[in-house]
A and B are shown apart, each in its own frame.
Chain A
Amino acid sequence: MTLFGYRLPGMSSLILWGILWEIVGQSGMTFFVPPLSEVVATLFQVIQTAAFQKALYETAYAFIAGVFFAIVIGIPVGILMGKNRLLDELLLPWVNVFLSAPLTALVPVLMVLFGFGMKAIIITTTLFAIWIIILNSRAGVKQINRSLVEMAHSFGASPFDAFYKIYFWAALPEILGGVRIGIIRAVKGVIIGQLLISIVGFGALFELYSANFLMGHFWAVLIVLFALAFTISEFLAYLERRVSYYAAKR
């Protein structure tokens, strides 16, 4: 965007919203919104505490494990659904149900099944991320050029070769899109898991700060969380652009 002939760098609008935040905070309208400057100062303070670092570790562990399972299960299942009509008919209704279901309501069930520990949090994270990864991988395979499949077949490709030398690569742009959205949903999943299942990690910090009306701390942790999620999502968007040269012509 350009303003008065100057080209504005990306996300300049954040500056405007930051100033508005500061004004609202300084005016003392509500205790709920402390000034941004105070939040940022708290941020640097909080980051150095052992409690924060422990929370970061616990959250990162659950998040990475949850996303890992969502990807290594979701991509192959999606590809197989795209290839196999029977499997597709069997699984697609469930995938669609879980994609739009209020998964938070399922968390108590998961607690009964898997206990109150890390395992249940990881499974919650996976459940938030996996469905869109499956659907996108499936969609990627569905649009594959039939003659690529025939080509591989005519040159004697084994089913295994066809799977990871043709289907996976042909669906890669959609797969990466699915993983990116899945990861954003996993951030939600891991925090909800930590709030509902056992109060650990960032969930515990949110609980602690909001219960004690430490709004500066609360916002600071939220900003950290947002920044982390945003960085991962941008990295995946970058990978998507790397394969976009062939996404248009397959």
Chain B
Amino acid sequence: MVVADDIPESAVSTRNISKNYGDVEALRDLSLEFPRGQLTSLLGPSGCGKTTLLKIIAGLLEPTSGEVEVNGQMVTGPGPDRAFVFQDFALLPWASVMRNVSFGLEMRGVAKSEREDIAARYIKEVGLGGFENAYPHELSGGMRQRVGLARALSVDAEVLLMDEPFSAVDEQTRRKFQEDLLGLVQNENKTFIFVTHSIEEAVYVSDQIAILLPRPSRVHEIIRPSGFRDKGVDNIRRDPEYLDIVDEIWASLRTYVE
């Protein structure tokens, strides 16, 4: 179940990434491959540097040493090939849903009528049709994250970086999001990098799970679930392989949880 011999080529590679904050070593010599068109989760206990790694890939943080490549290009900062979905949504509270979703395109200099056409399409796609003129404070947490997702999708980046995107929404909304995410990975042909602290969530949505262990952070294990992905969203949670992987991950993480 762990080994799969049909791993596609990497869309993103990180090589020997280290990140120090003063004397504190957040990441040490971390190398990871992110296969194209698949969803890779970064999973680990809090403080294991998974968000730090994601922000380094995004170009928001600079590694102390090591390098990140996206499609063979060295990352030196944020770029149009990557889009970020934030844990706290990061919406402009003074702007409508339409303006928020088209903000990424606005920053890329796309003309207003064109970017609003594109934004309108993605607002519908994430299920917010009719809310184009609403403001973030009028939306529920789940709807706000749909705005954040539509904004990231509308710039049509090849790599989608998601930082615990569902942790601030309620349980039922989270389940719906997870199902929708599986559809998105299938249809959008993008590479997803997904940070989560939920074992079940990681196993449910991922093609590949990188388990990070803390202080300093390194890759402990890479798991590639293969058996239950095609069995349909309703059957995954009772698939024996799904349950085994969840147990196995918990067994390796439990000693690191205070």
Known pairs A156-B78, A156-B80, A156-B108; A151 contacts B137 (CB<8 A): no
Q: Contact partner of A172 among B80, B94, B136, CB < 8 A?
A: B94
Contact B59 A154 (CB under 8 A): yes
Interface of B (DSSP majority class) = loop
The 8 Å CB contact of B88, one of A147, A172, A246, is A147
Q: Give Cα distance in the complex from A250 to B60, angstroms.
A: 21
**Cβ of B199 under 8 Å from chain A:** no
B83 located at the interface, meaning its Cβ lies under 8 Å from any Cβ of chain A in the complex: yes
Docked complex: A147-174 residues within 8 A CB-CB of B: 147-148, 150-157, 161, 166, 169, 172
Q: Are A156 and B60 within 8 A (Cβ)?
A: no
A156 CA / B104 CA spacing, docked (Å): 8
Interface size bracket, A side: 20 to 34
B93 contacts which of A150, A154, A157, A250 (Cβ < 8 Å)?
A250
* Residue in B closest to A150 when the chains form the complex, CB atoms: B60
A154-B59, A154-B78 are known contacts. Are A249 and B137 too (CB-CB below 8 A)?
Answer: yes
A145 at interface by CB-CB < 8 Å: yes
A227: Cβ under 8 A from any B Cβ: no
Question: Which residues of chain A are near B87, meaning CB under 8 Å?
Answer: 147
List residues of chain B with CB within 8 A of the CB of A147. Answer: 86-88, 90
| A-B contacts, CB under 8 A, total | 61
B 99-114 binary contact with A (CB < 8 Å = 1; else 0): 0000110011000000
Which B residues are CB-close (under 8 A) to A169?
92, 94
B107 touches which one: A145, A155, A250 (CB < 8 A)?
A155
Contact between B94 and A155 (Cβ–Cβ < 8 Å)? Answer: no
Cβ of B221 to closest chain A Cβ, rounded Å: 29
Does A155 lie within 8 Å of B78, measured CB to CB? yes
Partner of A245, one of B84, B88, B137, B151: B137
**Residues of the B chain whose Cβ atoms lie less than 8 Å from the Cβ of A214:** none
What separation, in Å, do the CA atoms of A155 and B104 have in the docked complex? 5
Is B155 in contact with chain A by the CB < 8 A criterion? yes
**A246 adjacent to B94 (CB under 8 Å):** yes
**Among A145, A156, A243, residue most surrounded by chain B Cβ atoms (within 10 Å):** A156
Instruction: Say whether B90 contacts A156, CB under 8 Å.
Output: no
> Nearest chain B CB to A153's CB is how many angstroms away?
6
- Interface contact A155-B137, CB-CB below 8 Å: no
Contact partner, B58, options A154, A172, A249, A250, Cβ 8 Å = A154
A229 and B87 alpha carbons, distance in the complex (Å) = 45
One digit per residue, 1 when the CB lies within 8 angstroms of any chain A CB and 0 when it does not, for chain B 142-158 equals: 00000000010001000
B59: chain A residues within 8 A (beta carbon): 154
Cβ–Cβ < 8 Å partners of B151 in chain A = 155
Residues of B within 8 A of A249 (CB): 93, 136-137
B-chain residues with CB within 8 Å of residue A166 when the two chains form the complex: 92
Beta-carbon contact of A154 and B92 below 8 Å: no
| Bound form: Cα–Cα A243–B135 in Å | 12
Contact: B104 with A148, CB < 8 Å? no
Check if A155 sits within 8 Å of B103, measured CB to CB.
Answer: yes
CB neighbors of A among B41-84 (8 A)? 55, 58-60, 78-80, 82-84
Distance between Cα atoms of A67 and B82 in the complex (Å): 45
* Contact between chains at B60 and A145 (CB < 8 Å): no
The contact of B60 among A148, A154, A161, A246, by CB within 8 Å, is A154
A residues within 8 A CB of B83? 154-155
Inter-chain CA distance A161–B105, complex, in Å, is 13
Query: Provided the pairs A150-B90, A151-B90 are in contact, do residues A156 and B107 lie with their beta carbons within 8 angstroms?
Result: yes
Interface pair B107/A157, CB less than 8 Å apart: yes
Cβ–Cβ contact A145 & B78, under 8 A: no
18 intermolecular pairs with C-beta atoms under 8 Å apart:
A145-B90, A147-B86, A148-B90, A150-B55, A150-B60, A153-B78, A154-B59, A154-B60, A154-B78, A155-B83, A155-B104, A155-B151, A155-B155, A169-B92, A169-B94, A245-B135, A246-B94, A246-B137
5 nearest CB pairs, A to B: A246-B93, A151-B90, A155-B104, A147-B90, A154-B84
Given contacts A153-B78, A249-B93, list 10 more A-B pairs with CB under 8 A: A147-B88, A147-B90, A150-B60, A154-B78, A154-B82, A155-B108, A156-B80, A156-B108, A245-B93, A245-B137
